Amino acid sequence: MGTLREATRLGALLLGLWPDAARADAVFPPPDTCPPGSVPSTSHAGPHCRPAAECVLSSMCGAGEACEAVGLCIEDVPCGGRLPPGDAGVCTEPHVVGTCSPSGACSVGSCELRNVCVQPSSARSGCACRAGRADAGLADAGLGSAGALLLVAALAARRR
């Protein structure tokens, strides 16, 4: 009976030491919609709308699109993921949170005028939407190696 118990503890210990590589790269899916001039994206910072690639001529755009100057409300947010302490502000990503008002104002972020491929202005209604952003910490929810080891140690101490 003692051998089975020891084998179970050893198995739990080895399972706790298993690399967390698969979970470490888990990110949420990109948002379903984004403001004009941005595209859905995702990273360890969470789902977001990133600025679309800039254009010079409408011939660079897809069917039914034109290269136009669009005012984008852009906010720089930390990259997320497992950055060393103190490096959180070093790595940032631009998130488009909406389009600028006609006066060039943004309620969040700063207004940047960019030439991007969009539906011609006569065909769009001018949305000033805010894309949701999930907390990057949620992507790392779950037990890692250290958590599994603590669980095994707690169970072993409880049985004594």
In this predicted model, what pLDDT tens digit does every residue of 29-38 receive, in sequence order? 999 999 999 9
- CA 84, 88, 92, 98: dihedral to nearest 10 degrees? 140
If one counts the domains in the chain, the total is: 2
Residues 54 and 127 in one domain: yes
- Of the listed ranges 50-64, 83-97, 102-116, the one predicted with least confidence: 83-97
Residues 124 and 54 in one domain: yes
The predicted pLDDT at position 45 comes to 79
The predicted pLDDT at position 49 comes to 95
Residues 65 and 116 in one domain: yes
Residues 97 and 76 in one domain: yes
Structure tokens at 128: 């000033």
- Around 110, how many Cα atoms within 13 Å sit in the side-chain half-sphere? 4
In terms of residue numbers, what domain contains 12? 1-20+144-160
Q: Is the pTM of this model over 0.75?
A: no
Within 8 A by CB and 6+ apart from 64, the residues are: 119
Within 8 A by CB and 6+ apart from 100, the residues are: 71, 72, 73, 106, 111, 113, 128
Structure tokens at 69: 């100057």
Other CB atoms within 10 Å distance of the CB of residue 16: 18
Give 118-153 pLDDT, tens digit per residue: 988 765 554 444 333 333 333 333 334 444 444 445
Residues 108 and 49 in one domain: yes
Give 43-87 pLDDT, tens digit per residue: 887 899 999 999 999 999 999 999 999 999 999 988 777 666 666
The predicted pLDDT at position 129 comes to 40
Residues 92 and 138 in one domain: yes
**Torsions phi, psi of 60, nearest 5?**
-80, -10
pLDDT at 90 over 80: no
Residues 57 and 68 in one domain: yes
